[in-house]
């Protein structure tokens, strides 16, 4: 049975109050999550390809659990729609309840996809009722957080599905449309970043920002340059041809250990002959002009060293993006494949193609304050051993990215849509 067949009829869904922006935003984001499952079958949504990835069915339920737990249960009269499911669909909020083992999410044939989609609809009805009744500022902020959280899961669903499909010898395609043309990459140019004291972090007037983007604060930058575009597949192939994966002098010690242990010889989804890559459009010819994608921090760092450069610090990246965001004509609409940097003037690919690894460890900003209550576990507790990525990717929902956005992954992670923007000391 396909996912679209399980969608409740339109007249079963409460219509959002026209005047309520929050209700409209809520309905739009929730519908977009289900739309990500268009064309998939129930079997596609139940399997887990690795402990880091989750079944799509789990994402559909977990994002609903988030609203039940952090918004609906604020009213003591509310009764959870599916008693017992909170154990299954809590992700990592230890302060809420005990939770199911992450690596075993793919063992849950029950609840079925149909059960989960029905649960979503019931949570939606309760949420839209709550919004229509009027919510206080705190509940409004939690609903906004829940919507941003859900958009993060929309991107995770595309990452996890691509990884799952990539392990299937039949090489299923998620998107059956013609592959969008890559375009021709503009020559690499270096632009001076600003040096001296700059400010980074979410401004007080930002409509929404996660706690990890605050507070805005001062940073001292030394003279440096940053590349106008991302590293291309063609450039990365030259790194491989030059023995990039066989020269320990190019690698961080942990990175070289990962190369040895994992047998890395190319980015995650490239074929062994370096001629094709597996994408959400299925297997496609490797286009030398598209940006290289699905590389670890270790690979990005090794490439930069080979190229006589380095990765930008996150403050360098953010200040550079603030200076040049107007030149990046990207519409940031999810297109499932990164495009070549065609702009001949200015800066390209800040947003909407590949997240960009930085040299910065994911740490709290000075005077960081996590959110109050159980949602304080959202970001802060992950500030150990991970690196910051900036920008956004071709699977990031439109409107979700910001200059101050801090994404973060472990340096060995490769299944996220991560690429490389180079920097240099000046
Ligand atoms: Fe989550």
- Which residues form the domain of 67? 4-166
Question: Contact 183/340 with Cβ under 8 angstroms?
Answer: yes
pLDDT at position 351: 95
- CA 238 / ligand 1 centre spacing (Å): 38
Question: Contact 315/200 with Cβ under 8 angstroms?
Answer: yes
- CA 144 / ligand 1 centre spacing (Å): 14
Q: Is residue 346 part of a domain?
A: yes
Could you tell me the CATH number of the domain that includes residue 116? 1.20.120
In this structure, are 297 and 372 located in the same domain?
yes
Supply 223's token pair: 């003279």
- CA 346 / ligand 1 centre spacing (Å): 36
In this structure, are 207 and 336 located in the same domain?
yes
- CA 339 / ligand 1 centre spacing (Å): 28
- β pairing state of 196-200 and 217-221: antiparallel
Whether residue 288 has pLDDT greater than 90:
yes
pLDDT at position 329: 60
The domain boundary residue, chosen from 134, 166, 198 = 166
Domain count, the chain: 2
In this structure, are 260 and 143 located in the same domain?
no
Distance CA 155, CA 10 (A): 25
Q: Is residue 267 part of a domain?
A: yes
- CA 72 / ligand 1 centre spacing (Å): 17
* Residue 41 pLDDT level (bands cut at 50, 70, 90): very high
- CA 50 / ligand 1 centre spacing (Å): 17
In this structure, are 222 and 118 located in the same domain?
no
- CA 103 / ligand 1 centre spacing (Å): 15
pLDDT at position 72: 97
In this structure, are 270 and 388 located in the same domain?
yes
Q: Find the range with the poorest average confidence among 75-79, 370-374, 420-424.
A: 370-374
- CA 153 / ligand 1 centre spacing (Å): 7
Supply 54's token pair: 């989750």
Whether residue 345 has pLDDT greater than 80:
no
Supply 240's token pair: 């491989």
- CA 99 / ligand 1 centre spacing (Å): 13
- CA 87 / ligand 1 centre spacing (Å): 14
- CA 18 / ligand 1 centre spacing (Å): 29
Q: Find the range with the poorest average confidence among 24-38, 84-98, 136-150, 391-405.
A: 84-98
**Average per-residue pLDDT in the chain?**
92
Burial 4-39 (b: 16+ CB within 10 A, else e): eebbeeeeebbebeeebebbebbbebbeebbebbee
Could you tell me the CATH number of the domain that includes residue 391? 3.90.1580.10
In this structure, are 158 and 204 located in the same domain?
no
Whether residue 95 has pLDDT greater than 80:
no
Express each pLDDT in 210-237 by its tens digit: 999 999 999 999 999 999 999 999 999 9
Instruction: Pick the closest to residue 149 from 260, 70, 215 (CA basis).
Output: 70
DSSP reduced 3-state for 276: strand
Q: Is residue 172 part of a domain?
A: no
Instruction: Pick the closest to residue 265 from 244, 238, 235 (CA basis).
Output: 244
Question: Contact 61/119 with Cβ under 8 angstroms?
Answer: yes
Whether the pTM exceeds 0.85: the reply is yes
- CA 236 / ligand 1 centre spacing (Å): 33
How far is CA 253 from each of CA 93, 223, 256, 262, rounded to the nearest angstrom? 33, 28, 5, 14
Half-sphere CA count of 159, side-chain side, radius 13 A: 25
Q: Is residue 158 part of a domain?
A: yes
* Residue 331 pLDDT level (bands cut at 50, 70, 90): low
Q: Find the range with the poorest average confidence among 162-176, 199-213, 341-355, 409-423.
A: 341-355
* Residue 18 pLDDT level (bands cut at 50, 70, 90): very low
In this structure, are 35 and 110 located in the same domain?
yes
In this structure, are 84 and 116 located in the same domain?
yes
Q: Is residue 234 part of a domain?
A: yes
In this structure, are 18 and 88 located in the same domain?
yes
| DSSP letters for 21-89 | HHHHHHHHHHHHHHHTTTT-BGGGGT--SSTTS--HHHHHHHHHHHHHHHTGGGSTT---SSTTHHHHH
In this structure, are 153 and 194 located in the same domain?
no
Residue 398, Ramachandran bin (φ over 0: left; ψ between -120 and 50: alpha; else beta): beta
In this structure, are 247 and 158 located in the same domain?
no
Q: Is residue 63 part of a domain?
A: yes
Share of the chain above pLDDT 90, in %: 83
- CA 402 / ligand 1 centre spacing (Å): 19
- CA 141 / ligand 1 centre spacing (Å): 16
H/E run at residue 115: helix 113-133
Whether residue 325 has pLDDT greater than 90:
no
Longest dimension (CA), the chain: 66
| DSSP letters for 356-396 | EEEEEE--PPTT--PPSSGGGGTTGGG-SS-EEEES-BTTS
In this structure, are 140 and 284 located in the same domain?
no
- CA 367 / ligand 1 centre spacing (Å): 25
DSSP state of 11: G
Q: Is residue 181 part of a domain?
A: no
Q: Is residue 307 part of a domain?
A: yes
The domain boundary residue, chosen from 166, 200, 220 = 166
Supply 124's token pair: 């939606």
The domain boundary residue, chosen from 131, 166, 201 = 166
Question: Contact 306/332 with Cβ under 8 angstroms?
Answer: no
- CA 269 / ligand 1 centre spacing (Å): 25
């Amino acid at each position: 049975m396909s996912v679209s067949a399980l969608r409740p009829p339109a007249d079963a869904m409460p219509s959002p109050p026209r005047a309520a922006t929050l209700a409209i935003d809520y309905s739009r984001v929730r519908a977009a999550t289900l739309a990500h499952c268009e064309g998939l079958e129930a079997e596609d949504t139940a399997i887990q390809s690795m402990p880091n990835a989750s079944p799509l069915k789990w994402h559909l339920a977990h994002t609903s659990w988030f609203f039940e737990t952090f918004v609906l249960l604020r009213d003591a009269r509310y009764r959870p729609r599916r008693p017992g499911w909170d154990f299954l669909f809590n992700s990592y909020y230890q302060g809420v309840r005990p939770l199911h083992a992450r690596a075993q999410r793919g063992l849950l044939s029950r609840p079925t996809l149909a059960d989960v989609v029905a649960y979503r609809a019931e949570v939606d009805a309760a949420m839209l009722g709550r919004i229509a009744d009027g919510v206080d500022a705190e509940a409004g902020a939690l609903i906004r957080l829940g919507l941003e959280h859900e958009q993060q899961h929309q991107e995770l669903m595309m990452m996890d599905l691509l990884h799952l499909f990539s392990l299937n010898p039949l090489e299923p395609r998620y998107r059956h449309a013609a592959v969008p043309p890559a375009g021709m990459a503009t020559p690499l140019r270096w632009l001076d970043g600003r040096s001296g004291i700059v400010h980074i972090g979410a401004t007080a007037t930002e409509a929404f920002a996660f706690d990890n983007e605050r507070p805005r604060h001062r940073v001292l930058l030394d003279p440096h340059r940053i590349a106008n575009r991302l590293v291309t597949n063609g450039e990365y192939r030259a790194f491989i041809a030059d023995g990039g994966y066989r020269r320990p002098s190019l690698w961080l010690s942990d990175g070289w250990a990962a190369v040895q242990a994992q047998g890395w010889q190319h980015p995650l989804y490239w074929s062994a002959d370096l001629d094709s890559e597996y994408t959400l459009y299925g297997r496609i010819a490797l286009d030398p002009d598209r940006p290289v994608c699905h590389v670890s921090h270790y690979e990005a760092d090794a490439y930069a060293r080979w190229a006589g450069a380095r990765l930008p610090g996150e403050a360098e990246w953010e200040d550079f993006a603030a200076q040049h965001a107007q030149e990046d004509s990207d519409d940031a609409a999810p297109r499932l494949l990164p495009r070549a940097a065609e702009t001949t003037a200015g800066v390209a690919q800040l947003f909407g193609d590949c997240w960009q690894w930085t040299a910065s460890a994911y740490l709290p900003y000075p005077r960081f304050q996590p959110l109050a209550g159980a949602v304080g576990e959202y970001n802060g507790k992950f500030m150990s051993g991970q690196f910051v990525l900036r920008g956004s990717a071709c699977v990031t929902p439109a409107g979700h990215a910001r200059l101050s956005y801090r994404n973060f992954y472990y340096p060995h992670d490769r299944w996220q849509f991560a690429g490389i923007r180079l920097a240099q000391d000046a």
